[in-house]
Structure 1
Amino acid sequence: MPVTMANVSGPDLCGALEDDARTLAELVGPAEEELAGLPLPGLRDEAQRQLAASLVDSCRRARTAFLHRHAPAVYDALTDRRRTPLRLAELARAGAERFPGLLPTDAQMAEEATRTQADKEGREIDQGIFFRALLADPSVGEHLIDSMLAPTPRALGLLSVFRAEGRVDLGAVLLERRDDVAHLTLNNQHCLNAEDNRLIDDLETAVDLVLLDDQISVGVVRGGVMTHPRYTGRRVFCAGINLKDLHAGRISFVDFLLRRELGYINKLMHGLLVDPSPDAYPERTLHKPWLAVVDSFAIGGGMQLLLVFDHVIAADDAFLSLPAAQEGIVPGLGNFRLSRMTGARLARRVILGGRRIRTTDPEAALVCDEVVASQAMDAAVEKAVRELAAPAVLANRMMLNLADEPRDGLRRYLAEFALVQARRLYAADVMAKVGRFSTPSVRQPADGGHAP
């Protein structure tokens, strides 16, 4: 019998985990079979679109109801009662295997990866439902945040080489130790340091290495010298999310949009977890002071980054912006952090209205600590590094960050962000806007990002 809204709209959940898991699988299985028989989303007629919408909506309501009852038990089943911490991608994969119908399978995600964003079924929304439920539970959410603060296997594998040589080229990020200072240079050259899956992975690896290396006292993040025709010979900080990759379906919800917030950005702010024990002494996490150096522009994710740094130096010909609302998505934790730095009114003008802040504007002082001429940047960096290396800075920046960003508030924001952002990725207005970046000739720079 064809699956319709009437016969998949209400799962009969009895309260027992395994029984409800079977009910969910029995409901979702036939719906998925019927959905698989439809044309690609962009090729469906009106009746097929309505059928697909009813199937998908009913399955998502069932998943939400299941997780509302069972999120802690699901998490415990996947992590061996929290004895085996899992990162986001590992959790999503384990959840799909252990609870059929709850999350997209590897095969379904592989199929999605072959499609443009507009032709996907939006299975990442199901991942958003899953992570929202986990993060919304205080105990589960705390454990998941801790799991994502641990060093990555890639960083641990590179640590001995970096300690010995003081340099590692990760691809999109060059990491160098000069004396006791780590210099992270963003070199995502093909897109003016726009953010993509590779950059997120390289940045988390680099941040881990800095925090693990006891020879380093301060970390500095700066954009590299570009080869792009419009910026040849100039440094660029970050052009924001790579919109061309987003249109092509190459921006991952789990490995990019969630991982950047729970991974390297959270580590910049709250440190690297090195001992998960609640009674760890003298500390559970490793911290370092961080300095950002902004040349040319910090757009989108680039501006979001500035909100977690201890000191920001910007060139006097640079600008800052958070254009995510104009593109239809949520600017990460920018909504969570910007208001406390700029006040609510300016934050709304920046996020909702697209207000661009030039570093010579008075408002720039709310985000940047220093604005200097380009030729004076190196000297300003050297001076700031020495100040950040003072012994008491480390303890005080940790306490300031705890006061500014209590873990429970962070967790609750991340829970809502997980679902809201996943849904925005597949909204019709977002598809229309990122479609402009489907060919290199549409906009300059031709290779993604937001830069003018």
Structure 2
Amino acid sequence: MTASLPPREAAPTGWTALAEAARRVEELLAALPEPGARTPQQRAAVAAAQDTARSHRVRFLDEHVDTVYDRLTEGRTANLRIGELVEAAAKEYPGLVPSEDQLAVERGRPQAAKEGHEIDQGVFLRAVLRSSTAGPHLVDAMLRPTARARDLLPEFLRDGVVQLEAVRLERVDGVAHVTLCRGDRLNAEDGRQVDDMETAVDLALLDPGVRVGLLRGGVMTHPRYQGRRVFSAGINLKELSSGGISLVGFLLRRELGYINKMVRGVHTGTDPDTGSDAPGRWHTPLVEKPWVAAVDGFAIGGGAQLLLVCDHVLAASDAYLSLPAAQEGIIPGAANFRLGRQVGPRLSRQVVLGGRRLWATEPEARLLIDEVAEPRDMDAAIDRAVSRLDGDAVLANRRMLNLAEEPPDAFRAYLAEFALQQSLRIYGEDVIRKVGRFAAGAARTAGAP
């Protein structure tokens, strides 16, 4: 790392102190053994140096975040996704966020052996999202279709089906069937699934032949649930323990990407020549559609989070849902933002803090589940549910409901703090111990949730 600002402008206030503090951290880490081999005194020295550098980052960003963001996005004319944004920041402001070389070393390590450089990304992204200028621009950039989806769109428009590794998307009579198909791992979420889900949601929203989206888990090959449908086992804790769950590429992309697109729609952009909205989109650049979720088996963690953004939730009578993030030690995405509004503060705390499991047939579960059907009747119930949501008036009313229930600025403020707090949590000693025990147990027992 070069601890100086590239020569496009004079160094802003606080930059020299930040660059020097970042250099000291790097020199200290280079002189020490890897994290697992350090003495308590060495760990304390690293923590103190990192705290000093992070204090300088916070002060610098409090004063200059809009200037930094405008420089990275060319005056907010470039719509950088969060991954592109932190990559650009690492090049333009070395020491502000971890470099690609630092992250490459981290990617090759299990979570317990990492230095925690992603926390600095959390500091940076909290500042960006908190800004009333930079934050809305970043959220807007994340609502635009991915390059992968744009590439696959002609194929999907032609064939009505796209088979991805973790998700199958098929258009049937105006319904986009988004089927989670990681049958060997109970649809446990990892980076591959997040990428495939955002691609599928983009395609469903961009296809004018789709009127309603349907989320459902596929048939499992996992030995304990073989031949049965399962919605989702939530985050893949084995992948988290091995270091494969990233803050930017998984935890933040998931919330700002496909889940937020399910709520607000996909941004169709503007004409690059005229700068005006796409033809016929003068009233809004967002294309949105209603979503139905059909829960077979269970919706754990991230699976339960998806139910909170769907317009109709149908569950089999033997299904359950839970949000065990507090037991795992992490934050359940934006569930803490949405759950209390839907079920009330007391039940929200029972589910999030106490780990309460809600069975579909419990009275309290009806605050989250609109309809319960016997497993053999799920297909017919799904057909009825998607038919009820097929209408122009549904679109207009869901837009106004979502605007009232989840104002964009409130969502952005939550995600700003989430960016920092989740970055701290995934490096918490308690999390590393818990997911390590889970991963070891999963290896012994074939990964039952």
1:88–1:254 CA contact under 8 A, matched in 2 = yes
1:391 CA drift (Å): 2.5
How many aligned positions are there?
A: 434
For residues 17-56 of structure 1, the aligned pairs below 5 Å read 17-18=11-12, 20-56=14-50
1:21–1:99 CA contact under 8 A, matched in 2 = no
Aligned to 2:113: 119
1:19 CA drift (Å): 5.5
1:343 CA drift (Å): 0.6
User: SS in structure 2 opposite 1:191?
Assistant: coil
Aligned to 1:134: 128
For residues 214-233 of structure 1, the aligned pairs below 5 Å read 214-233=208-227
Aligned to 1:164: 158
Q: Note the alpha carbon deviations across 1:206-248, whole angstroms, 9 max, x for none.
A: 0000000001101101000001111011000000100000000
Structure 2: gaps spanning 5 or more residues: 1-8
Letter aligned with residue 123 of structure 2: I
1:36 CA drift (Å): 1.8
Q: How many angstroms apart in 2 are the aligned matches of 1:194 and 1:258?
A: 17
Aligned to 1:71: 65
1:33 CA drift (Å): 1.6
| TM-score, length-scaled by structure 1 | 0.93
Change (3 A) 1:257 1:441: closer
Change (3 A) 1:369 1:155: same
Aligned-residue Cα RMSD (Å) equals: 1.6
Letter aligned with residue 218 of structure 2: G
1:441 CA drift (Å): 5.0
2:323–2:355 CA contact under 8 A, matched in 1 = yes
Q: How many angstroms apart in 2 are the aligned matches of 1:206 and 1:440?
A: 33
User: SS in structure 2 opposite 1:263?
Assistant: helix
Identity %: 56
- Which of 48, 70, 81 does residue 87 from structure 1 map onto? 81
User: SS in structure 1 opposite 2:283?
Assistant: coil
Residue 312 (1) aligns with residue 313 (2): yes
| TM-score, length-scaled by structure 2 | 0.94
Aligned to 1:257: 251
1:40–1:119 CA contact under 8 A, matched in 2 = yes
Change (3 A) 1:17 1:400: farther
For residues 4-403 of structure 1, the aligned pairs below 5 Å read 17-18=11-12, 20-275=14-269, 281-403=282-404
1:443 CA drift (Å): 6.1
Aligned to 1:412: 413
Q: How many angstroms apart in 1 are the aligned matches of 2:276 and 2:62?
A: 27
2:13–2:60 CA contact under 8 A, matched in 1 = no
Q: How many angstroms apart in 2 are the aligned matches of 1:220 and 1:179?
A: 12
2:32–2:38 CA contact under 8 A, matched in 1 = yes
Q: How many angstroms apart in 2 are the aligned matches of 1:334 and 1:266?
A: 12
1:78–1:98 CA contact under 8 A, matched in 2 = yes
Aligned to 1:10: none
Change (3 A) 1:441 1:240: closer
Letter aligned with residue 390 of structure 1: G
1:436–1:442 CA contact under 8 A, matched in 2 = no
Change (3 A) 1:432 1:93: same
